[in-house]
Each structure stands twice: as C-alpha cells, then as structure tokens.
C-alpha cells in the first residue's frame, strides 16, 4: 500500500508540474495574442479570422499523437482561442435564443465561453443586430438532417447583404425533462415544432395519449416545465441544468444521427482557409433547360456542388431562386470562373459567403 501511495504521489507531483508549465505557456500565448490585437487595431484589420482558426484546429488534430483525443483537442483550443480573442477585442455575438437552445450551444461551440453571447427573439433580429453593428456576428440555424432547411433563414439572405463567415455542425439529441424525473407525472408535453417532429415516433410509442403543445423554443418549453409539475419538455440536457429539471428519458429523437447546421453571419467574407465552401443564391430566366445551363459552369470548371435548394421568390408568383453550396473559395480560379459564367446566364446572382468548411460530428 505504501508503494502505491508513493507512486501516486510522484505521478500527481508530475501532473502538478505540467499544469504549472501549461499555465505559463498559456499566459505567454495570451501576451502574444494581445500584441496581435494591438497591431490589428492600429492597422484597422479584422480581429476574427475563422479561416486561420479552422486551419489551426486541423493542424493540431493532425499533429496530435494521442492519447489525448482529437475531440478534446478541438474543445480545449476553442476556449484558448476564445479567451485570446477576448484579449484582442471584446467579441459580441447574437444568436437565436433564449439561452440553453441548440443555437446557443452552436454559438458556444464556435466562439467559446469568453465571447459575449446575446440571445435574440427571432432570426430576423439576429440579422438586424449584426447589420446595425450592435454585435460583431450572429449565429442562426439553416438546416437539419431530419426536418430540412430553415426557410426563414434562407429568406433573410434575399433581403440582407450580410455574409456567411463560418458554419457549425451540431449533433442534436433530445431529452424528455420534467421536475420529478418520473414518466408517470407527464400530463402535457411542450417543445419547438421541429423538436416534436424529430421525436414523433418515440412519442407515439410511449406517450400517445399525452397532448403536445408548441413552444417558441426548446428552452421556453423547459421553462414551462420548471413551473408546472404536470408538464414535460423536449429539450437539450443543458436545458435541464439551466431550469432545474430531471431527465425522464434520454435521446428520444427518432434518428440517432440527427444533426443541425448553423451559420455564422457577419459583414465581410473571410480569407481562404484552404478547405472552404462557397454559398450563392441565383434566379433563372423562365426558359427551357434554364437550370441545366445554370449548373453547367460548375461541371465545366471542376467545381463540386454539395447542395442546391429552391425557394419561391417573395415578389413574383411561381418564380424561384436557388441556394447552392460548392466546394472552394470564391477567390479560387475554378470557383471564380464558374461564378462569372453563371452570372452571365442568370437573372441575378449573389455570393452569400466563402468560409471554412465545418467539421461534421462522427455518425453513431
């Protein structure tokens, strides 16, 4: 037993020494980051560089020999970067709130705990705050693997000149929450319609007779459940912590690989990162083969399309616009040539952004 105690004491002393060295290095890095901020301020340069950030995270993951897991490397350095940015300049970010929603989690995933995160009531309000300079960036949902696109987000890009500067993929897991943690106490269920739809099969199997009511968000549903002993909420586990609830049942979503994609919006397109995505919106002329002719330039210039989504034009009945994602940055020769040729063929074209490709969570 004494030998075990001695070995543990030696290991703990070595860990304590490493922690002191890590702290010294973090403060040395913080000093350099502060100097970077001073130089940027003098030059009038942007403080936030998502391309540089994503490139750094990728390089760290590639250089990591283990056993420290890559997911933890990304999480740790995200907070280091967040704290460093806070030293360079206060980072204010609006997100579709309230707190404890999945969009809040996406904002934390992208900007870390050191950013000043401000909830907004609607997607339109997020756009408005960024447009008026009240915040530096905004975070909004754009599509889910189960429910498809968030139409209001796409429609806002038709009215706004803001750009997409980054994307975040978040695994969405839903939990049934209430005050007691007992299934027998559930008399009413509240949640956002999208969350309800993603759990429809589980609800029909286990709680078919229990009425379900819409809430403005999963966090609002959790708040309702915290005030009503007969109510339950479908929400994230973080909402249970925020509103003092217990988990009745975990992971009740029907699709175990349920992901939501979020966009970060800002005033300017970031510099290339080396692994980028470009999003555009365009409208076609009403003629035979129009869409084929619009997509042809991407094929001819070797540009890989990853998504195309149609939406009705707000001011013209039975006319449509197309939202398209492709691999590469708008400044790359192939992408630039394809977009120039597309512009000459369509009614209008707008580049919504060129930004680092987000990291997809591993499927389960």
Tokens of 286: 């009403």
The verdict on whether omega for the bond into residue 98 sits within 30 degrees of 0, i.e. cis, is yes
User: 345 burial class (0-12, 13-18, 19+ CB within 10 angstroms)?
Assistant: middle
300 close to 337: Cβ distance less than 8 angstroms: no
Catalytic residue, chosen from 101, 260, 278, 324, is: 260
Catalytic residue, chosen from 262, 282, 322, 323, is: 262
- Of 146, 91, 155, 90, the C-alpha closest to 122 is 155
CA distances (Å), origin 143, targets 186, 200, 266, 360: 30, 18, 19, 14
Our answer to whether residue 103 is catalytic in this structure is no
Residues linked to residue 312 through DSSP beta bridges, in sequence order: 320
Residues linked to residue 326 through DSSP beta bridges, in sequence order: 278, 305
CA distance 22 to 13: 14
74 close to 57: Cβ distance less than 8 angstroms: yes
CA distance 77 to 59: 12
User: 295 burial class (0-12, 13-18, 19+ CB within 10 angstroms)?
Assistant: middle
Query: What letter would DSSP give residue 245?
Result: -
- Of 336, 146, 143, 347, the C-alpha closest to 254 is 146
Our answer to whether residue 262 is catalytic in this structure is yes
* 180: CB partners within 8 A, 6+ apart: 229, 246
CA distance 194 to 146: 9
Helix, coil or strand: residue 237: helix
Phi, psi of 74, rounded to the nearest 5 degrees: -60, -45
Tokens of 169: 């993929």
361: left (phi over 0), alpha (psi -120 to 50) or beta: beta
Catalytic residues, by residue number, are: 260, 262
């Amino acid at each position: 037993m004494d030998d075990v105690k001695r070995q543990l004491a030696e290991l703990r002393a070595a860990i304590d020494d490493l922690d002191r060295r890590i702290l010294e290095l973090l403060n040395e890095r913080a000093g350099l980051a502060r100097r970077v901020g001073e130089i940027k301020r003098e030059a009038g340069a942007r403080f936030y560089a998502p391309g540089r950030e994503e490139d750094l995270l990728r390089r760290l993951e590639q250089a990591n020999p283990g056993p420290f897991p890559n997911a933890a490397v990304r999480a740790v350095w995200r907070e280091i970067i967040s704290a460093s940015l806070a030293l360079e300049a206060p980072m204010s970010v609006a997100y579709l709130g309230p707190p404890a929603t999945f969009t809040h989690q996406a904002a934390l995933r992208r900007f870390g705990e050191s950013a000043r995160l401000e909830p907004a009531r609607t997607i339109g309000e997020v756009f408005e705050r960024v447009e008026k300079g009240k915040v530096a960036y905004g975070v909004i949902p754009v599509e889910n693997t189960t429910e498809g696109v968030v139409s209001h987000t796409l429609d806002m890009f038709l009215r706004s000149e803001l750009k997409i500067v980054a994307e975040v993929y978040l695994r969405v897991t839903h939990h049934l929450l209430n005050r007691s943690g007992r299934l027998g106490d559930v008399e009413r269920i509240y949640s956002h319609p999208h969350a309800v739809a993603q759990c429809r099969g589980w609800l029909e199997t286990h709680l078919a007779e229990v009425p379900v009511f819409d809430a403005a968000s999963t966090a609002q549903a959790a708040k309702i459940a915290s005030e009503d002993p007969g109510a339950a909420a479908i929400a994230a586990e973080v909402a249970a912590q925020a509103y003092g609830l217990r988990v009745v049942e975990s992971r009740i979503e029907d699709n175990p690989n349920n992901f939501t994609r979020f966009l970060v919006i800002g005033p300017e397109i970031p510099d290339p990162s080396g692994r980028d995505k470009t999003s555009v919106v365009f409208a076609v002329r009403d003629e035979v083969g129009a869409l084929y002719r619009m997509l042809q330039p991407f094929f001819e210039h070797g540009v890989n399309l990853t998504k195309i989504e149609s939406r009705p034009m707000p001011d013209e009945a039975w006319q449509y616009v197309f939202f398209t994602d492709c691999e590469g940055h708008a400044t790359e020769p192939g992408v630039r040539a394809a977009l120039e040729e597309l512009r000459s063929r369509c009614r209008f074209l707008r580049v919504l952004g060129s930004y680092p490709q987000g990291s997809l969570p591993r499927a389960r």
